[in-house]
């Protein structure tokens, strides 16, 4: 087993190639973006991917469907850009931290009781392993210091333990267990190397010591993986951006419309790619908290020395910015929480029809209506007097690492009109900002300070949302120049693997730039947010005390 930085392709050759491709696999879609070496996106393409839900908290996907969606997206983006495929220097992948289970020869294995072998992925948000995670946490192994003292059911070792206990025939038949990003790079390059990002953040690999901790796996009941020398979860661990294998295989290149041998980079978790695409702004990653606001949200803070924050994952060494430590927090439901919140309102159907007629997403319509009623985004908080939301529909990822936490809504009346839906939407966005503020404060108390938030992700693309997050969160929110920082982050990996840049730091500094900046509230509005933030924390505490009854 080894950890390597790997060599990139010859730089003079790659500089002749003027483009890089970033591939992002989120919860609901696969996307590809083609960039030039100035960080400008020239074309993008997207394919939706299915999500299968079982009873309880089981959520599954198909690796074959995802691979087909990736290939189709890349081929379409290359065609749309009208470039010579031979001019692509490299490709990079990011994906959700979902568990892919394959049998011999890469055949898919059924991970759930439906026995559909096509459903071979346990999705990141799947909480079937909550009991296993709780048992692991009670054991108190020292490895847990590097996940904020508590492992999450969203991580891979609890899911592996669930498979071993509930699907032993599948566990035994598995040839490889992959994080989704590592599965994609294997499909592209035929290289089984794992990324430091994936295995450190979600599998308990100790990157700072370049080893798996055998005693952890034996203590929790996964001793078989240690007995095998970890051959099914990764024996060669490399830094993101490392060039893999001999580049694209003939088969993968044909499926993507690219040239065999095009550099393939070791990948990253999707949120971390968003970090790579944003924290280089200003040339000082430690100043910037990367905030990826999508279906869930992730906060990523870089420090030069390890900082231990209870309830916040990490510190992880070199998991995002090479040579720096990473603390990772976030909210298990963020964009998804807003969608659930507004879907519960009686006016949802009529508002959705109105949004559809206008050709916009419902949250966009609600933001526009809030601006009409309040005059400015800053004044919108006045629309929600007495209405408070704690949006923890899927638990609290940070800073409490509490998967049993649930949402609280206080102050609802009998109103069923559009104005009350707008108010509920605004209260929801503010609550996401208060959750962000809570993570920032807890990290600062432990010694991980940030000066500003750099935002990415589909749910945070509007200026209205960015302004509310800055004012509720108490820090400036910087929007990157590119509209697709997650895709840019993946493209940066491809640029390094293809030799277009010598280091990740050089590529980040060259390709990332800031756009608009949204400042925190001042005066009476700041005081109002402070009062609402105190109410947010009080509601969290009240529910925690009463949920057992």
Q: How confident is the model at residue 8 (pLDDT cuts 50, 70, 90)?
A: very low
Round to whole Å and give the CA distance between 333 and 191: 33
CATH of 2-269, one of 3.30.420.40, 3.50.50.60, 3.30.70.240, 3.40.50.2000: 3.30.420.40
The pLDDT tens digits for 44-97 are 999 999 999 987 789 999 999 999 999 999 999 999 999 999 999 999 999 999
Phi and psi, residue 517, nearest 5°: -125, 130
Vertex 529 angle, CA 347 and 275, to 5° = 85
Q: How many CB atoms lie within 10 A of CB 474?
A: 20
Burial annotation 395-428 (CB, 10 A radius, 16+ → b, else e): bbbbbbbbbebebbbeebeeeeebebbbbbbbbb
- The domain limits of the chain are 2-269, 279-481+519-549
Residue-level pLDDT at 1: 55
Q: Which of 17-21, 158-162, 428-432 has the lowest mean pLDDT?
A: 17-21
Residues 157 and 151 sit within 8 Å (Cβ to Cβ): yes
DSSP state of 326: E
What is the per-residue DSSP string for 340-376?
A: HHHHTSTTHHHHHHHHHHHTS-HHHHHHHHHHHHHSS
Does pTM surpass 0.85? yes
Task: Please compute the mean of the pLDDT values over residues 104-115 and round it to a whole number.
Answer: 96
Residue-level pLDDT at 7: 40
Report the percent of the chain where pLDDT is more than 70. 97
Report the percent of the chain where pLDDT is more than 90. 88
Count H helices and E strands in the chain, helices first: 19, 23
Q: Is 96 helix (H, G, I), strand (E, B) or coil?
A: coil
Q: How confident is the model at residue 33 (pLDDT cuts 50, 70, 90)?
A: very high
For residue 16, is pLDDT > 70? no
Residue-level pLDDT at 4: 46
Residue-level pLDDT at 281: 86
Round to whole Å and give the CA distance between 525 and 433: 14
Residue-level pLDDT at 15: 46
Task: Please compute the mean of the pLDDT values over residues 238-261 and round it to a whole number.
Answer: 98
Cis status, amide bond into 315, omega within 30 of 0: yes
The pLDDT tens digits for 469-523 are 999 999 999 999 888 999 999 999 999 999 999 999 999 988 988 889 999 999 9
Task: Please compute the mean of the pLDDT values over residues 134-156 and round it to a whole number.
Answer: 94
- Roughly what angle, to the nearest 10 degrees, separates helices 418-446 and 362-374? 100
Using CA atoms in the order 267, 272, 278, 284, what is the torsion angle rounded to 10 degrees?
A: -100
Task: Please compute the mean of the pLDDT values over residues 151-173 and round it to a whole number.
Answer: 97
Measured CA to CA in angstroms, residue 498 lies from 137, 172, 183, 251 at distances of: 41, 37, 20, 19
What residues contact residue 140 under an 8 Å CB cut-off, 6+ apart? none
CATH of domain 279-481+519-549: 3.30.420.40
Higher pLDDT, 283 or 40: 40
**Residue holding tokens 């898919």?**
108
Residue-level pLDDT at 475: 98
Q: How many CB atoms lie within 10 A of CB 192?
A: 17
- Mean pLDDT across the chain: 94
Residue-level pLDDT at 5: 42
Residues 518 and 283 sit within 8 Å (Cβ to Cβ): no
Task: Please compute the mean of the pLDDT values over residues 23-48 and round it to a whole number.
Answer: 96
Alpha carbon 519 to chain centroid, angstroms: 25
Q: How many CB atoms lie within 10 A of CB 53?
A: 12
Task: Please compute the mean of the pLDDT values over residues 201-227 and round it to a whole number.
Answer: 98
Q: Is 121 helix (H, G, I), strand (E, B) or coil?
A: strand
């Amino acid at each position: 087993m080894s950890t390597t930085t790997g060599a990139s392709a010859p730089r003079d050759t790659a500089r002749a190639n003027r483009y890089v491709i970033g591939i992002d696999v989120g919860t609901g879609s696969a996307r590809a973006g083609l960039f030039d070496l100035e960080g400008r996106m020239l074309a993008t393409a997207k394919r939706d991917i299915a999500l299968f839900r079982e009873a309880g908290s089981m959520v599954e996907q198909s690796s074959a469907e995802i691979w087909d969606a990736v290939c189709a997206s890349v081929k379409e983006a290359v065609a749309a850009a009208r470039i010579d495929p031979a001019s692509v220097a490299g490709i990079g992948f990011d994906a959700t931290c979902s568990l892919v289970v394959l049998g011999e020869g890469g055949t898919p294995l059924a991970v759930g009781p439906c026995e559909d072998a096509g459903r071979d992925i346990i999705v990141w948000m799947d909480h079937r392993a909550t009991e296993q995670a709780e048992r692991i946490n009670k054991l108190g192994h020292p490895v847990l210091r590097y996940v904020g003292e508590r492992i999450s059911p969203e991580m891979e070792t609890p899911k592996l333990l669930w498979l071993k206990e509930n699907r032993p025939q599948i566990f035994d038949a598995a040839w490889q267990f992959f994080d989704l990003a590592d599965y994609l790079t294997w499909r592209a390059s035929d290289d089984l190397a794992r990324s430091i990002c994936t295995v450190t953040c979600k599998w308990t690999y100790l990157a700072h010591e370049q080893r798996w901790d055998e005693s952890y796996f034996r203590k929790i009941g996964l001793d078989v993986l240690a007995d095998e020398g970890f051959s099914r979860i990764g024996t060669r661990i490399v830094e993101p951006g490392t060039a893999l294998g001999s580049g694209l295989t003939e088969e993968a290149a044909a499926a993507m419309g690219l040239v065999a041998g095009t550099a393939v980079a070791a990948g990253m978790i999707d949120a971390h790619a968003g970090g790579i695409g944003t924290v280089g702004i200003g040339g000082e990653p430690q100043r910037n908290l990367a905030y990826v606001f999508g279906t869930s949200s992730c906060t990523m803070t870089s420090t030069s020395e390890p900082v231990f924050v209870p309830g916040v994952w990490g510190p992880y060494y070199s998991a995002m910015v090479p040579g720096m430590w990473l603390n990772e927090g976030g909210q298990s439901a963020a964009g998804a929480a807003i969608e659930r919140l507004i879907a519960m309102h009686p006016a949802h159907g009529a508002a959705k029809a109105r949004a559809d007629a206008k050709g916009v997403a419902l949250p966009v319509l609600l933001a526009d209506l809030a601006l009409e009623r309040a005059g400015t985004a800053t004044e919108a908080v006045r629309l929600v007097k007495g209405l408070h939301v704690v949006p923890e529909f899927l638990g609290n990822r940070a800073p409490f690492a509490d998967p049993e936490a649930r949402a609280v809504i206080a102050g609802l009346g009998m109103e069923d009109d559009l104005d009350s839906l707008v108010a509920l939407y605004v209260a929801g966005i503010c609550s996401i900002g208060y959750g962000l503020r809570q993570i920032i404060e807890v990290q600062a108390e432990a010694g991980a300070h940030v000066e500003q938030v750099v935002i990415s992700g589909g749910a945070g693309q509007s200026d209205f949302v960015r302004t509310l997050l800055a004012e509720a969160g108490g820090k400036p929110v910087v929007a990157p120049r590119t509209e697709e920082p997650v895709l840019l982050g993946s493209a940066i990996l491809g640029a390094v693997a293809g030799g277009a840049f010598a280091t990740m730091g050089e590529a980040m500094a060259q390709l990332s730039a800031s756009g608009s900046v949204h400042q925190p509230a001042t005066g009476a509005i700041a005081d109002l947010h402070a009062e609402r933030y105190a109410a947010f924390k009080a509601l969290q505490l009240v529910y925690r005390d009463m949920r057992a009854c």
